[in-house]
Amino acid sequence: MNDIKVLYLRINQYCNAHCYMCDFWKNSKSEITDEKFENILNIMKKVELIRFTGGEPLLCEKLPQYIAKCHLRGIKTSVITNGLILDTKLDALVESGLDQIVISVDGSTSELHDSLRGTKGLWKKIDKTLEQIVKEYPSLHIRVNTVVSEKNLSDLPNLVQWLEKRQVEQWSIIPIKLDTYKWHNKITLEDFKREYLNFQKSIEKCNIELMGYSAVWAGNIENFWKGDGYIRPKGNCYLTRMVGFYDPFLDHLYPCNCIPHRKLSFSSTRGEKDWYFEHGHEYCKGCEPLNAYCADFPEKIKENIFNF
């Protein structure tokens, strides 16, 4: 696996938010062992970026220690967080060498975001912490991930304004991927078209970098609404040649951060990578717009590791 440039590393499986699209909050406390962390670090000879995920990775007390170890090896680091306790962890993370923070934000107001994430007071904490980052740690890269559903579709133009106000660099939009979720059961085609086009108009002059295919996350509007069309790679998935997702609790290295949600099983890691390279664009439904883009244009990751 020496070809991997970006490694997603799940360091725990429990969370302190109650998001409607996820059930990690139901899990008991479980964290990666130091031995497994060191092992995966030694295996990944050419990795350039490790993105810590969970669960909620900030709940792992050893996270600053893990970031510092990566920093000593010249590996850049990123953390995906719901932001609930980021204010109390920020100083230690930055002092350990953290390069990027990725925060999940699904609404431009506390009422909307907190209801979607099932956690009262969450949005206000994120808003305050982003302001702190800009003032105290301007070199820390900031990305926001937004899961889009019919619940927050109409709010996207307002979210654009808030992201610009908080000087967020990058925005990755992720259409909800629940298997049971069907847009045509949630919103009329007429309403979907109107809100989607309002979103696209709102980003025409914004200063935020929309990641990958995020600006066109629905692709063909009518097909997407029907459930017949998804953003996916146009051909071979070159992302699988550069990215890995390691789950220490299953001791499994997946060829993409979206793959753990699939149900296929393989006899070898190499066989899994090769299969998704050739067949992912045919099989995967609901690929993230950023992933699909990097699968089509892997040179973008080579240009800048934070392009993924």
Domain residue limits, the chain: 6-307
Report pLDDT for 1.
59
Q: What whole-number distance in Å separates Cα of residue 112 and Cα of residue 49?
A: 32
CA end-to-end span of the chain, whole Å? 18
Indicate the CATH number for domain 6-307.
3.20.20.70
Distance in angstroms (rounded) separating the CA atoms of residues 230 and 223: 8
Is residue 147 within 8 Å of 109, Cβ to Cβ? no
Residue 280 is given by DSSP the state H
In one letter, which amino acid is 20? Y
Query: Following DSSP, what letter does each residue of 41-70 receive, concatenated?
Result: HHH-TT--EEEEESS-GGG-TTHHHHHHHH
Residue range 246-273: average pLDDT? 90
Q: Is the pLDDT score of 216 beyond 80?
A: yes
Percent above pLDDT 70 for the chain: 99
Q: What is the pLDDT of residues 145-200, one digit of tens each?
A: 999 999 999 999 999 999 999 999 999 999 997 667 889 999 999 999 999 999 99
Mean pLDDT of 119-138: 97
Residue 283: name the closest of 267, 307, 261 by CA. 261
Average pLDDT of the chain is 94
Residue 273 parent element (H or E):
helix 269-283
Q: What's the pTM value of the predicted model, to 2 decimals?
A: 0.96
Q: Go through 113-127 and write b for each residue having 16 or more CB atoms within 10 A of its CB, e for each that does not.
A: bbbbbebeebbebbb
Average pLDDT over residues 114-140: 97
On the question of a cis peptide bond just before residue 55, with omega within 30 degrees of 0, the verdict is: yes
CB atoms within 10 A of CB 98: 25
| pLDDT (0 to 100) of residue 23 | 77
More confident residue, 249 or 263: 249
User: What are the two backbone dihedrals, phi and then psi, of residue 254, each rounded to the nearest 5 degrees?
Assistant: -85, 155
- Owner of token pair 């990751």: 301
Rounded mean pLDDT, 250-270:
88
User: Is the predicted pLDDT of residue 94 greater than 90, yes or no?
Assistant: yes
Q: Token digits for 104?
A: 């999940």
